[in-house]
Structure 1
Amino acid sequence: MSRQVPLVDGHPLLGSLNELRTDTLGAYLRAQRSYGDVVRFEAGPPGMRAEVYGIFSATGIQQVLGAQAANFRKENAVYTEIRESIGNGLLTSQDEEYIFQRRMVQPFFTRRRVNGYADTVRLEAEATAKDWEAAPGGLVDVSTEMAEFALRAVTRILFGSDIDTAIDVVRRNFPVLGDSVLRRGVTPLRIPRSWPTPANRRVGAAQRELYAVCDRIIAERTAAGATSEQDMVSLLIQARDEDGSALSAEAVRDQVLVFMLAGHETTATALAFALHLLATHPEAQRKVRDEVDAVLGGRAAGADDVESLPYINQVLKEAMRLYPSVAIMGRRTAAETEVDGFRIPEGADVYLSPWVTHRHPDYWADPEGFDPDHFTPEAEEARPRYAWFPFGGGPRACIGQHFSMLEAAIALAALFQRFEFTAVDHDIPLGLAMTLQANSSMRVRVAPREQAPKAAA
């Protein structure tokens, strides 16, 4: 017989509203520690109170993302806001539309195709390294720098020769939309987007500018027959299903914006925190440098080298464990169900949190500590599948997982061939938008390595 989900204690009038708004990750973590792996929050004043369920065990997450995935839909407030901000691409689409989109896009994310992006990633990493050689005092903010690197890499893959036209528009407008998604997604009462408030006008302007640059490039590629370029926009325009169906121009734009989000902010977060963690752990940093030197011997890393850099991959996975780019994932139940022995009603907003599960003491020794050996093959084999899920899982697992890991590994290899790192900023406050973010600088001091290869011009 299923059990009732325990209610997290909150304020008599507002429930857990303020805690969830001001310290979402802390609220979920404390709830798991105090109440267990399935919890219920109430948020908002009487008469307007919303219920939110948190599920934190690996078995519960497997049910939500895997075994019962059809019953946990992307229909909550956050996904509605994402859909209205950047369109209905792979991240937010559902049912037959999702299946069609996935089928159309999958060929561009095969291992062979993704490996073909390695040279673009390497060139952008080397350009970043070249800039760092001239950094005043050797100081670089890895949060800002990795965001710029990832943005340039994914924009070049998506838009090809139009990178300079698109990149400034993306750089300025994506944060505006991300802030709006978070603010509106967690607010019980949302002002209609059509109301001319200052916030709505700002979001509307950002969306229009972002859509306009994508639409212009798509229209130009379409008019040219999409054959003069082999960037992803051109490939998406040319894509055909078995029955000859193509993606509309709007659908191409929706996919481009999803890829921009997933291939930019998520990878940038992983890289920034990996660099910061290594800068504060000299022994792990030494192991990375030794591995890079032994495997590459001074040459640039390519796609075929990534699997030969196991310690770098362990470092990246551990950075994603401690600082998952998507720290909270939401769903809404289509029917009453049972998760981990607890009854979850129909229409319930359910949230999973990699931030919490990645710190679960049942799965991790020293959950708060940085230890890349959490990801040796033996350690991974001993853990439940969903103790670590930065890329989601089940039928909706992130299509770009291989690209993200390849991009991050090649970037780290290029940077550690050239520099040694020492942390300057240590306690980094965090915030949430569409992804986890550092709310302050993450400065490190870079020093050229002896006999390090020079960055390419």
Structure 2
Amino acid sequence: MATTTTHDTSDTKEPRDVPELTGLPVIGSLLDLKNDSLGTFLKACQDHGDVVRITAGPPGIRATVHAVFSAEGAQQVLATEAANFRKENAFYEEIRQSFGNGLLTSQDDDYLRQRRLVQPLFTRRTVDTYAAAVATEVTAVTDGWRERGEETVDVLHEMTGFALRAVARILFGTDVETAVGVVERCFPVLGGYVAQRGYSPRNPPRSWPLPANRRAAAATEELYAVCDRIIAERRAAGPEAEPRTPDLLSLLIAAGDEGGGFDPAELREQVLVFLLAGHETTATSLGFALHLLARHPEQQARAQEEVDRVLAGRVPDAADLDALPYLTQVLKEAMRLYPAAPAIGRRAVEEAVVDGHRIPAGADVIVAPWVTHRHPRYWPDPERFDPDRFTPEAEAARPRYAWYPFGGGPRACIGQHFSMLESVIALAMVLQRYGLQAVDTEVRLGSAITLQALSPARCRLVARD
């Protein structure tokens, strides 16, 4: 069982200087971060400990980040001292420029106002009403496999398409088709653009007529246009045209009409954040859960036994989540090994002592679920797939931030329950109809705004009676 030993992060001892990851002369760790940022973070922790300084780029345009890898350090940055670690770094600014200043990136009074208006949309009772829409989209996916006679599918690609359609249906209702094609074209362009600029020590202005700038500007314009058109049409139609079961857009518009709410630009920014955060993260968790089960037949059989016993062939609903604990454990273990947000950035306002190390004022700081979720202090044999790590007893024995795929503290993901609801329902329905056998046993990975698969995760489908 994992130990619960913690580090002394108080200032009763003299703070230590932060060790630096050894890189190349002149450019530091620039190439390592560009070629394999996830592996670079792991190596930094293994070689130098739980707080490491990483530099990238030549003198004059060098970027420096202080990486924090322990559960205790992550809790300090995200929760107990969250006010001192703000979303003011270059990466979040790039997201703001591309997707607007929605709930993901806003701060201070803007964030508090947005959170107050959006919070009622994500209560458990409200989220549970979306279970039927999720089930509709899962059925469309699995019916499509059967009708096309699919024998092998890339589960990451398939779950990305499913998650996008599900969140678009829940957000826009009957306008789902209008938005999906635009998002599929534009989000990859903007995600890569944001990541490239966010990780670069210095960037040319967005106004320069460079090919990358022009592609990103065109993608942004197309995204903004489709969102603005759907919002305007929904407002013009009036309350009498609202769907029988209100979608998120209807609820957002209603919240904005109550006074002190969202203007049209802010509505669009919230919509874009929900599309971005609501499909890429769930798709990653669900796709890798399926791929892991395909690689581990014993755990797959156990998951299918639970699904068959609890559901007996019927479509799951929100009320079934508590009766499917092993499926939840499978998903949590998939999120441990493949966190959709492998690194989370902040900037220190004032000097701080984190895990006994001095972090200077103004420093860029990252906490890295990718590393913490593999830390041998909390996870014995960390690369092994073992859903039993997430029994209630095992979870209680670990530090709170040994596992934090949804972030934490006051800026924790507002859509946690929605993500788990969607993922459990989808996983259960796929396992009802199919067994999976892994064709690709390894998947190459990279990192943009979220964790990215750089190679397929193909699985052979075995239809179940």
Match of 1:42 in 2: 55
Deviation at residue 225 of structure 1 after TM alignment = 2.4
Which of 72, 89, 94 does residue 76 from structure 1 map onto? 89
Aligned positions of 1:256-405 closer than 5 A: 256-405=271-420
Deviations 1:306-350 (A, max 9, x none): 111000000000000000001110000111111111110111010
Deviations 1:360-409 (A, max 9, x none): 00000110110001101111000000000000000001000000000000
Residue 66 (str. 1) matches residue 82 (str. 2): no
State how far apart, in whole Å, the 2-side matches of 1:34 and 1:134 are.
52
Which of 117, 120, 131 does residue 130 from structure 2 map onto? 117
Deviation at residue 241 of structure 1 after TM alignment = 8.5
- Structure 2 gap segments, 5+ residues each: 1-13
Match of 1:454 in 2: none
Deviation at residue 227 of structure 1 after TM alignment = 4.6
Residue 182 (str. 1) matches residue 198 (str. 2): no
State how far apart, in whole Å, the 2-side matches of 1:338 and 1:226 are.
53
Match of 1:233 in 2: 249
TM-score by length of 2: 0.95
Which of 419, 439, 448 does residue 463 from structure 2 map onto? 448
Match of 2:30 in 1: 17
| Contact residue 256 and residue 263 of structure 2 kept, 8 A | no
The verdict on how the C-alpha distance between 1:289 and 1:50 changes in structure 2, with shifts beyond 3 A counting, is: same
State how far apart, in whole Å, the 2-side matches of 1:228 and 1:303 are.
27
Deviation at residue 137 of structure 1 after TM alignment = 5.1
Deviation at residue 223 of structure 1 after TM alignment = 1.6
Deviation at residue 245 of structure 1 after TM alignment = 1.4
Residue 210 (str. 1) matches residue 226 (str. 2): no
- One-letter amino acid of the counterpart of residue 114, structure 1: V
- One-letter amino acid of the counterpart of residue 72, structure 1: F
| Contact residue 53 and residue 67 of structure 2 kept, 8 A | yes
- State the identity as a percent: 62
Match of 1:453 in 2: none
State how far apart, in whole Å, the 2-side matches of 1:81 and 1:240 are.
26
Match of 1:455 in 2: none
State how far apart, in whole Å, the 1-side matches of 2:194 and 2:234 are.
30
Which of 4, 7, 17 does residue 4 from structure 1 map onto? 17
Residue 253 (str. 1) matches residue 268 (str. 2): yes
In structure 1, the residue corresponding to 2:345 is in which secondary structure? strand
Match of 2:236 in 1: 223
Deviations 1:140-193 (A, max 9, x none): 111110000000000011111111111100111000000001000011111100
- One-letter amino acid of the counterpart of residue 133, structure 1: R
State how far apart, in whole Å, the 2-side matches of 1:187 and 1:259 are.
26
- One-letter amino acid of the counterpart of residue 305, structure 1: D
The verdict on how the C-alpha distance between 1:129 and 1:5 changes in structure 2, with shifts beyond 3 A counting, is: same
Match of 1:410 in 2: 425
Deviation at residue 224 of structure 1 after TM alignment = 2.0
State how far apart, in whole Å, the 2-side matches of 1:224 and 1:126 are.
30
State how far apart, in whole Å, the 1-side matches of 2:283 and 2:56 are.
32
Match of 2:9 in 1: none
In structure 1, the residue corresponding to 2:241 is in which secondary structure? coil
Match of 2:4 in 1: none
| Contact residue 104 and residue 241 of structure 1 kept, 8 A | no
State how far apart, in whole Å, the 2-side matches of 1:72 and 1:99 are.
16
| Contact residue 226 and residue 235 of structure 1 kept, 8 A | no
Deviations 1:78-111 (A, max 9, x none): 1001111101111000001000000000000000
State how far apart, in whole Å, the 1-side matches of 2:240 and 2:451 are.
38
| Contact residue 155 and residue 290 of structure 2 kept, 8 A | yes
Deviation at residue 136 of structure 1 after TM alignment = 4.2
| Contact residue 84 and residue 350 of structure 2 kept, 8 A | yes
Which of 85, 89, 95 does residue 98 from structure 2 map onto? 85
- One-letter amino acid of the counterpart of residue 231, structure 1: D
State how far apart, in whole Å, the 1-side matches of 2:319 and 2:260 are.
34
Residue 199 (str. 1) matches residue 215 (str. 2): no
Deviation at residue 135 of structure 1 after TM alignment = 4.2
| Contact residue 118 and residue 406 of structure 1 kept, 8 A | yes
| Contact residue 337 and residue 370 of structure 2 kept, 8 A | yes
Which of 94, 97, 107 does residue 94 from structure 1 map onto? 107
Residue 167 (str. 1) matches residue 183 (str. 2): no
Residue 51 (str. 1) matches residue 67 (str. 2): no
The verdict on how the C-alpha distance between 1:226 and 1:78 changes in structure 2, with shifts beyond 3 A counting, is: farther
Match of 2:446 in 1: 431
- One-letter amino acid of the counterpart of residue 121, structure 1: V
In structure 1, the residue corresponding to 2:424 is in which secondary structure? helix
Deviation at residue 261 of structure 1 after TM alignment = 1.0
State how far apart, in whole Å, the 2-side matches of 1:216 and 1:227 are.
19
State how far apart, in whole Å, the 2-side matches of 1:171 and 1:226 are.
30
- One-letter amino acid of the counterpart of residue 103, structure 1: R
Deviation at residue 47 of structure 1 after TM alignment = 2.3
Deviation at residue 132 of structure 1 after TM alignment = 1.3
